[in-house]
């Protein structure tokens, strides 16, 4: 996608052929800072501190992180150790583990002398496939927006989304936002309700920024506004991304997604999750029981960061100094509350038969 007319991906290899660039998402929307990563420790730090975040993007960054690791030491012991270090950075999004497993499967059978080149080729394939899959998700998702327009007899379609599942969360296009970009490119009248997504405000800072850069009309709302908007007919469709989906269609996504799904069900609003197959954990059936939920630093809840009137960026405390805080970063929406899943192979019911219909090789 474009930033001020210039096409970007969220991750790319420098002209030197080996170092890795990412956009520092902790600085958005106030500054577009490009980081150059040269060591596996930089990649691990980037994932842990969310300089790069979003399930598909952390998979791609972990893959390139392993490339950087191999440049320092391509032995099998070091490779396994560094892959484990990268895998430990964040627990919920399965793309991280998926990408590292894919890298290791390719590299374990590759002679040490050829490992670095093979690793860069595999990481590039992971990144390119992510772009292609998200582009396909966009194509399969546009009919949802067209159907919402038809249901209301034409006019603007209001789509609610939670967190950031746009191009910043992937290598390009995004998942939940991909159908919105494609519909908008095709001339459909789409407006997005952007949940601010406390505590880290990925909606307010990232989704609003990238929609704005692409010229998509949008309005940021407090996370608690969604139910009210749905009750008053202001939401035609909800589309969210996912960090891990079970084979039965349960969806782990940013904390607060479950509450939006409950409100959508109560108000008859279609609630879809846009999911590349790299986000599906075929080994897990019960999301509430089996998906590990990341608990992040309480400071993300007690403090907020924003732009001051003089243009500087500052962090301020919003809770009493002696109040504790808890920060579960994700929740699980049971499949029964999800209207359906949009994948790169098409749309399906959020259920074992639905997913097996699209991915019969996982039976």
In the bound state with ligand MRU, the residue whose beta carbon lies nearer, of 107 and 273, is 273
Structure tokens at 184: 């908008």
Query: Binders of ligand MRU among 217-236, rule CB under 6 A?
Result: none
Contact status: 43 vs ligand MRU (CB under 6 A): no
Catalytic option among 195, 223, 243, 281: 243
In the bound state with ligand MRU, the residue whose beta carbon lies nearer, of 91 and 354, is 91
> Least CB distance from residue 141 to ligand MRU, whole Å?
13
Which among 342, 355, 349 has a CA at the least distance from the CA of 175? 342
Tell me the residue number closest to ligand MRU, measured at CB: 241
The contacts of residue 321 (CB under 8 Å, 6+ apart) are none
CB 168 within 8 A of CB 331: no
Contact status: 22 vs ligand MRU (CB under 6 A): no
In the bound state with ligand MRU, the residue whose beta carbon lies nearer, of 73 and 294, is 294
Q: Which stretch binds ligand MRU (CB under 6 A): 144-152, 231-239, 240-248, 332-340?
A: 240-248
CB 200 within 8 A of CB 28: no
- Plot region of 332 (φ>0 → left; ψ -120 to 50 → alpha; else → beta): beta
Query: Binders of ligand MRU among 44-73, rule CB under 6 A?
Result: 53-56
Range list of β-strands (E), 132-179: 157-161
Element spanning 117, H or E: helix 115-151
Question: How many of the other CB atoms lie within 10 Å of CB of 101?
Answer: 13
Strands 340-343 and 271-274: parallel
Percentages (nearest 5) of helix, strand, coil residues in the chain? 45, 20, 35
> Least CB distance from residue 311 to ligand MRU, whole Å?
25
Is 243 noted as a catalytic residue in this protein?
Answer: yes
Contact status: 102 vs ligand MRU (CB under 6 A): no
Q: What is the largest CA-CA distance in the chain?
A: 63
Contact status: 202 vs ligand MRU (CB under 6 A): yes
> Least CB distance from residue 19 to ligand MRU, whole Å?
23
Query: Binders of ligand MRU among 115-174, rule CB under 6 A?
Result: 163, 165, 169-170, 174
Range list of β-strands (E), 196-301: 218-221, 237-240, 244-246, 251-254, 271-274, 280-281
Query: Binders of ligand MRU among 293-312, rule CB under 6 A?
Result: none
In the bound state with ligand MRU, the residue whose beta carbon lies nearer, of 42 and 254, is 254
Report the C-alpha gap between 71 and 279 in whole angstroms: 28
CB 322 within 8 A of CB 298: no
Contact status: 243 vs ligand MRU (CB under 6 A): yes
In the bound state with ligand MRU, the residue whose beta carbon lies nearer, of 169 and 291, is 169
Report the C-alpha gap between 57 and 234 in whole angstroms: 31
Binder of ligand MRU out of 10, 133, 201, 253 (CB under 6 A): 253
In the bound state with ligand MRU, the residue whose beta carbon lies nearer, of 93 and 119, is 93
Element spanning 68, H or E: helix 55-72
Taking CB under 6 A as the rule, which mask of x and - marks residues 76-95 in contact with ligand MRU? -----------------x--
Binding site for ligand MRU (CB under 6 A): 53-56, 93, 163, 165, 169-170, 174-175, 202, 241-243, 253-254, 329
User: Which residues are catalytically annotated?
Assistant: 243
């Amino acid at each position: 996608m474009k930033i001020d007319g210039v096409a970007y991906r969220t991750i790319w290899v420098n002209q030197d052929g080996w170092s890795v660039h990412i956009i520092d998402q902790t600085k958005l929307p106030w500054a577009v800072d490009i980081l150059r990563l040269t060591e596996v420790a930089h990649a691990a730090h980037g994932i842990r501190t969310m300089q790069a975040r979003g399930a598909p993007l952390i998979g791609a960054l972990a893959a390139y992180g392993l490339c950087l690791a191999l440049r320092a030491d391509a032995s099998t012991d070091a490779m396994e150790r560094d892959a484990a270090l990268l895998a430990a950075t964040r627990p919920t999004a399965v793309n991280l583990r998926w990408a590292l497993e894919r890298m290791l499967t390719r590299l374990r059978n590759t002679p040490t002398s050829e490992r670095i080149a093979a690793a860069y080729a595999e990481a590039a394939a992971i990144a390119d496939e992510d772009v292609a899959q998200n582009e396909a998700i966009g194509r399969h998702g546009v009919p949802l927006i067209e159907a919402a327009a038809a249901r209301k007899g034409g006019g603007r379609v209001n789509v609610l989304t939670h967190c950031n599942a746009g191009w910043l969360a992937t290598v390009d296009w995004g998942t939940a936002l991909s159908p919105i970009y494609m519909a908008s490119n095709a001339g459909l009248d789409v407006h997005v309700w952007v949940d601010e997504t406390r505590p880290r405000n990925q909606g307010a800072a990232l989704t609003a920024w990238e929609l704005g850069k692409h010229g998509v009309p949008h309005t940021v709302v407090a996370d608690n506004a969604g139910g009210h908007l749905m009750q008053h007919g202001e939401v035609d469709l909800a589309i969210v991304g996912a960090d891990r989906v079970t084979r039965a269609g349960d969806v782990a996504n940013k904390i607060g997604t479950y509450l939006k799904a409950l409100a959508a069900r109560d108000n008859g609003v279609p609630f879809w999750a846009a999911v590349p197959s790299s986000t599906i954990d075929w080994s897990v059936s019960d999301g509430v029981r089996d998906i590990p939920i990341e608990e992040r630093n309480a400071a993300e809840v007690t403090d907020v960061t924003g732009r001051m009137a003089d243009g500087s960026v500052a962090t301020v405390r919003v809770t009493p100094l002696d109040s504790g805080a808890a920060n579960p970063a994700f929740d699980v929406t049971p499949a029964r509350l999800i209207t359906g899943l949009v994948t790169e192979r098409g749309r399906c019911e959020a259920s074992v038969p639905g997913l097996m219909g699209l991915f019969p090789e996982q039976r």
